[in-house]
Chain A
């Protein structure tokens, strides 16, 4: 599903920052993978490259057979809309839209302004918010907003769902709800998910962990644990 080869990202400056130093890995269809490592190791940078919201300095990324780095800006936008789902750390909802509108909007854009309210309603039901359809983000808790964001990420049936520390701003109870939701989506819908997390206990929800250290993939958790910080 995802094939990354020798991915590099360097931020130019007086002292260039080598955020990714040649990362290679594969993720199979239907896998639920966690991306873990200490702060500043390059996890978010890697996810930004995979989510096509940043451009790597070198390397290649194939998602669902498409060499995404060779797409034009317009094609990347279309690819993000149609084939990728992205959940941000903060509840990135449109304040002026209801929960239903937040979820349904990307689908209406994809289908030329035609709304599929049933599908949006169904997805909100799936994330446990079937009773909050007409509520605006300010009327929802942080956990509820994040679940709306997850439903929005799923509305166009993405091939991959990226979650960038989606539970970082949630309390333990809300985090568990979101993680179980990811697990459910993975098991029941065979949704491929790549999730960044800092929490060691989140490992129990995923099929596999990709460890990162200093812009590179690490062989195992042990080498990172030596630093006593994840």
Chain B
């Protein structure tokens, strides 16, 4: 503690009376290193989060119930009203919704010249009144309106299916506009629909689908009171997701029940790759920050070698000198973290919240967990500690006369 007090005074005076340009340079480098670590991990986190959130709010819900696979594969969940009523009795389940899903071949004659563009896509039969309890389908309409549930000839196309956004593609219809007619061929026959809306969600693949009313889907499939899937929304404060899944599975042993986490298993590999990239970039950033602090502190210590030699000659212990350099480096690291935090949380994150980066997976902003922030702060503090310790140890290891004479 006594040594620390003297070291603190030495560090304080060196910082307040020392070279301001070096101090500003150090703080700038450290703040940009901090920004770099948080930006990369935050963007990758945001990407993972937007994919996950997109899947949850447009495709799966928190938990999805599907028809039985074993021993006999079934196409639908029968008596969906009874199944949903039973699900809704479980505490923690806040809403359920059913969907029909059927594949269709779309045909669109843009120029009305008999030349059709054909694309296969999934058609969802949804109940727009119930949909909002689990999904954000209604919020995804970017053009036109949602179909009228009483009209069987209206359809909403995903923007990726409608096309026309970024040039021709063999996976879209080439630019369908509101009011256009599209022909859709199902196994039960061909139907004509009027496009009344274009939807676009954050999740790219969800934009390559179409939506019709439940009644129309039942008409296409020749079924009633069934579902291709039942999705549910839950309150995670009341029940843990795996516990709910297990309860549902015991309640409906023949149905296939999966949480969104399990359904994201394929995307999980991608998310893990993002994590790895994030860790890799963070480690490089921290290494660069450490080496930079090391070089600047070392050059500073070399320039003050004679002063360090004199301090030792008059009886100042090497530990006081080393501690003072460590304290200086930690001070600059704290300043770098503070400035970096202002840049990240005061400028970059608010900006990206308003103007997300558009990627094929959807719009992405910075998503940072408490752990990632703490880890970045700790990493930079360790970088500061090592950047102060190593050079000052090297210089104080020299003999006093060598230090004084240079």
Residues of A that sit less than 8 Å from B by CB? 48, 51, 53-54, 74, 77-82, 84, 86, 88, 92, 94-97, 101, 105-106, 108-110, 112-113, 136, 152-153, 156
Contact = CB atoms under 8 A, between A and B. Distances in A.
Contact of A82 (B16, B315, B316): B315
A101 B315 contact: no
B317 A96 contact: no
B355 interface: no
A105 B317 CA distance: 12
B351 interface: no
Interface string B220-252: 000000000000000000000000000000000
Contacts of B1: 112
Contact of B317 (A74, A113, A153): A74
A81 B314 contact: yes
Interface string B294-308: 000000000000110
Contacts of A54: 399-401
Interface string B13-26: 11011100000000
23 contacts: A53-B404, A54-B400, A74-B317, A77-B312, A77-B318, A78-B315, A81-B314, A82-B315, A88-B310, A92-B306, A92-B310, A95-B17, A96-B13, A96-B14, A96-B16, A97-B17, A101-B13, A108-B6, A108-B9, A109-B316, A109-B317, A113-B5, A156-B315
A109 B9 CA distance: 10
Nearest to A94: B307
Nearest to B8: A113
B404 to A, nearest CB: 8
Contacts of A97: 13, 17
B311 interface: yes
A53 B311 CA distance: 11
B400 A53 contact: yes
Interface in B365-405: 399-401, 404
A86 B307 contact: no
Given A48-B401, A96-B14, A109-B320, A86 B314 contact: yes
A113 B9 contact: yes
Nearest to A54: B401
B359 to A, nearest CB: 50
Given A81-B316, A95-B307, A112 B2 contact: yes
B314 A136 contact: no
Contacts of B311: 94
The 5 closest A-B pairs by CB, nearest first: A81-B315, A113-B5, A112-B2, A96-B17, A80-B315
Contacts of B399: 54
Nearest to A44: B401
B279 interface: no
Given A95-B17, A108-B9, A112-B2, A51 B313 contact: yes
A81 B320 CA distance: 13
B313 A112 contact: no
A112 B5 contact: yes
A226 B30 CA distance: 64
B383 to A, nearest CB: 25
B6 A86 contact: no
B6 A109 contact: yes
Nearest to B312: A77
B312 to A, nearest CB: 7
B13 A153 contact: no
Nearest to B311: A94
A92 B306 CA distance: 9
B234 to A, nearest CB: 59
Contacts of B5: 108, 112-113
A96 B18 contact: yes
A112 B313 CA distance: 18
Nearest to A51: B313
B310 A77 contact: no
Contact of B9 (A48, A74, A84, A105): A105
A224 B5 CA distance: 50
Contacts of B404: 53, 88, 92
B315 A53 contact: no
Nearest to A153: B314
A94 B5 CA distance: 17
Nearest to A88: B310
Contacts of B6: 105, 108-109, 112-113
A113 B401 CA distance: 26
Contacts of A101: 13
A48 B309 CA distance: 13
Contacts of B313: 51, 53, 80, 86, 88, 92
A113 B5 CA distance: 5
B320 to A, nearest CB: 7
Nearest to B6: A109
Nearest to A85: B314
Contacts of B320: 109
A106 B314 contact: yes
A96 B307 CA distance: 11
B118 to A, nearest CB: 79
A152 B315 CA distance: 12
A33 B106 CA distance: 109
